[in-house]
Every structure is written in C-alpha cells, then in structure tokens.
Amino acid sequence: MIEIVGLTKRYGDRTAIDNLNLSVARGELFGLLGPNGAGKTTTIRVLTMLTRPSAGHVTIDHCPLKDERRIKAMIGVVPQHLNLDIELTARENLELHGRLHQLPAAIRRQRTEELLRLVELEERGADMVQTFSGGMKRRLMIARALLHRPRILFLDEPTVGLDPQVRRRLWGLIRGMADAGLTVVMTTHYIEEAENLCQRVAILDHGKLIALDSPRVLCRRFGEYVVEWHENDKLNSRFFEDRTEAAQFAGGLAAAATLRRPNLEDVFVELTGRKVTE
C-alpha cells in the first residue's frame, strides 16, 4: 500500500529522515516508534504531502506523491496538535470537512451521523467542541479524517496527553478501524501503545530505521528474558534465552534484580544505549 524508497528529508544541515526504506501492507496497523526528534512526524508529514522530501521516492497505492489530488482522496490525517474549530459544534466540524472534500450534501449528512456513532459522540454532535474533553476531541478528529472514506489513516501521536483509560478506548477504536480493512499508520513514543496496538513497528532513531518487525519478534530479538539491576547508580540489563539461567544470574548479583520478559524499551536501549521515553 505504501512504498518508501531511500526517503531523506533535510532541514538545512539537519537530517530529519535518513535514507528510509519501508513498505506498509494494505490493511496493516503500522507503528513508527522512536524518541522525540527521531523523525516520526516528519515521515508522516512527507507521506501526507505537508512537506516535500529532499530525496527518495514514495508511492501510495502505486500513486506517486506528486499526484496530489489522488493522494488527498486516499488519505485521512489526524495531526498531533488539535486543529478542530472549537467554536463550531462537532457536527459542523465534520460538515466543513465534507464540504472541503466536495462530498454531496446527502452523503455528508449520512457520513457525519455514521461517524459520530462510530466514535461514540452521537449525543454530543450539537455541542461546541470547546466543551469537549481531550479524548473526545481526539475521537472527533478521527471521525473527521474518515469522513471522505480514505483507504489509509495517518495518526500522529493519537493518544499523547490522554489518561490511560481514555488511551485504551482510543486503541479499541483504532483497532476496530484496522479490522474493518483500513490501513493505519501511526506514530508513538509510548512503548505500551506500540506493543499493544501495532502489528508491525518501525523503530526510528535520529532519522534512521534501526529495527522493523512485529512487536512480538522485536521483543525477543535479544532474548526471552531480561535481568535488570542497579549498580553504581546505573541501570544495567542483560538478556537470556533461558529462564533458569537468567534466575541464576540474578541470584548471583549483589544488588536486587528483576527478571522479566523484554519489552520494546529494552530493545531500544540495547540498540542505542538510550531510552525511548527519556
């Protein structure tokens, strides 16, 4: 569905994306994971034609990015920052977007009601967006992005700043859309989000792709178990294939240690020496 070959984006002498090669399959729920400044937003901005690449080639459903009209019809975008008109109602925000996409009035109305139901805002359609919570605004942005029936949805940090319960509710919504056949590309710096939601994850660091696979495979890349302990004020970790061996190692340490299954954070630390969430 999306083919990215040799994508590079420079801002002056800073390289935000460095020779990225990636493909996303139709119907996939794909995550771009990395710390602040890794190049996730820039990648989404290139894919959604908000900025031009410095080099490389991208096609969406075999269509090059320069075919703006076709690409625009194919994609829906939920940016990181809230950009709803807060002095309009939820319904009016959707209506406006439908007009921008030149949807006929009857279809606009029908889609608006369908989508308000999908994001569980049907009771609040007539309320001004400024009265909405952060989670409700985010759900309305998703509804708006889906109004013109895109085949791909881009979500930039869809749950940033939301509390865990609201975040899980959004995960359910995103998962449901992917189950219904939509291709979803999302960015996140939340390890848990990438692990729970995404079928495949591209880990980015300093604009480079450093790992790409399902969260399950990535988590086992360095071992089945990890032992973690503090030594000289520093957190250390070591991977093991075998639980008994890991337990023996942990037992032999002078400091208290934890033994657990590895997560994507451990993988990132092992690859870069830093944490994603710092």
Could you tell me the sign of the dihedral formed by the alpha carbons of 220, 221, 227, 232, in that order? Answer: negative
Q: Which of 14, 62, 69, 216 binds ligand ATP (CB under 6 A)?
A: 14
Give min distance, CB of 156 to ligand ATP, in A: 7
Q: Which two tokens stand for residue 185?
A: 């590309």
Give min distance, CB of 218 to ligand ATP, in A: 18
The answer to whether residue 34 forms part of the interface with ligand ATP (CB under 6 A) is yes
The answer to whether residue 196 forms part of the interface with ligand ATP (CB under 6 A) is no
Q: Which of 1, 4, 7, 16 binds ligand ATP (CB under 6 A)?
A: 16
Give min distance, CB of 267 to ligand ATP, in A: 17
Angle of the 164-179 helix axis to the 134-146 helix axis, nearest 10: 10
Phi-psi category of residue 273: left, alpha or beta, with phi > 0 → left and psi -120 to 50 → alpha: left
The answer to whether residue 216 forms part of the interface with ligand ATP (CB under 6 A) is no
Q: Which of 23, 25, 26, 36 binds ligand ATP (CB under 6 A)?
A: 36
The answer to whether residue 41 forms part of the interface with ligand ATP (CB under 6 A) is yes
Beta bridge partners of 213: 201
Q: Which two tokens stand for residue 29?
A: 């729920």
Binding range to ligand ATP, per CB under 6 A, among 40-48, 107-115, 171-179, 195-203 = 40-48
Vertex 151 angle, CA 160 and 134, to 5°: 20
The answer to whether residue 158 forms part of the interface with ligand ATP (CB under 6 A) is no
224 in Cβ contact with 237 (< 8 Å): no
CA nearest 185: which of 82, 32, 65? 32
Chain positions 231 to 260 lying near ligand ATP, rule: CB under 6 A, are none
Residues that bind ligand ATP (CB under 6 A): 11, 14, 16, 34, 36-42, 189
